Amino acid sequence: MTMLPPKPPSRPERVSLWQYLRLFRQDILSAQPAKLYRAWMAEFRAPRIRSFLINQPELLQRVLKEEPDLFPKSDRIAEGLKPLLGNSVFLTNGEAWKRQRRLIDPAFEGGRLKETFPAMRAAAEAAVRRLEKQVAENDTVEIEEVTSHAAADVIFRTLFSIPIEHEVAGEVFSRFRDYQRSQPLLNLAAFLPLPGWMPRFFRPGTLSNAREIRALITRLTETRMSEIKAGTAPDDLATKIMCAKDPETGTGFDTEEMVDQVAIFFLAGHETSASALAWALYLMALYPEWQEKLEEEAAILGDESFAAVSKLRLSRAVFREALRLYPPVPMMVREASCPVRFRNRDVPKGSQIVLSPWHLHRHERLWNNPDGFDPMRWQSENGKTCQREAYIPFSAGPRVCTGAGFAMVEGPLILSMILRAFQLERIEGDDPVPVAHLTVRAKNGIRLRLARRR
pLDDT tens track of the chain, all 454 residues? Answer: 468 898 888 877 776 766 766 766 677 888 888 999 999 999 987 767 789 999 999 999 999 999 999 999 987 777 777 888 888 998 899 999 999 999 999 988 867 889 999 999 999 999 999 999 999 999 999 999 999 999 999 999 999 999 988 989 888 888 887 776 665 555 555 555 555 544 455 565 678 888 898 999 999 999 999 999 999 999 999 999 999 999 999 999 999 999 999 988 887 788 889 999 999 999 999 999 999 999 999 999 999 999 999 999 999 999 999 999 999 999 999 999 999 999 999 999 999 999 999 999 999 999 999 999 999 999 999 999 999 999 999 999 999 999 999 999 999 999 999 999 999 999 999 999 999 877 899 999 999 999 999 7
The answer to whether position 212 is within a domain reads yes
Instruction: Name the 3-class secondary structure at 15.
Output: coil
Q: Is this structure's pTM higher than 0.85?
A: yes
Domain range holding 153? 38-452
Q: Are strands 340-342 and 422-426 parallel, antiparallel or unpaired?
A: unpaired
pLDDT number for residue 172 = 87
- What b/e readout covers 343-366, taking b as 16+ CB neighbours within 10 angstroms? eeeebeeebbbbbbbbbbbbbeeb
> Residue 134 and residue 136: Cα distance in Å, rounded?
5
| Domain harbouring 224, CATH code | 1.10.630.10
Half-sphere exposure of 181 (CA within 13 A, CB side): 14
Neighbouring C-alpha atoms within 13 Å toward the C-beta of 23: 19
Name 451's Cβ contacts closer than 8 Å, sequence gap at least 6.
135, 139, 422, 423, 425
**pLDDT value for 197:** 47
Whether 128 maps to a domain, the answer reads yes
pLDDT at residue 200, as a whole number: 52
CA 383, CA 380: separation in Å to the nearest integer? 5
Tally of CA atoms within 13 A in the half-sphere of 265 that contains its CB: 27
Single out the residue of 229, 258, 233, 248 nearest to residue 86, CA to CA: 258
The answer as to whether 25 is a domain residue is: no
Q: Does residue 348 form part of some domain? A: yes
Q: Which of 304, 294, 334 is nearest to 422 (CA)?
A: 294
Degrees to nearest 5, angle at CA 420 with 268 and 309: 55
Per-residue pLDDT, 198: 47
Q: Tell me whether residue 22 is in a domain.
A: no
Q: Let me know if residue 103 belongs to a domain.
A: yes
Give φ, ψ of 340 to 5 degrees.
Answer: -135, 175
- Contact in structure between 300 and 37 (CB atoms under 8 Å): no
In a domain, 19, yes or no: no
Rounded to 10°, the helix 143-160/404-421 angle is 130
- Looking at the DSSP assignment, which residues form a beta bridge with residue 441? 435
Judge whether 11 lies within some domain: no
Cα radius of gyration rounded to whole Å, the chain: 21
What's the domain count of the chain? Answer: 1
Whole-number pLDDT of residue 75: 78
Q: Is 138 exposed, middle or buried (0-12, 13-18, 19+ CB in 10 A)?
A: exposed
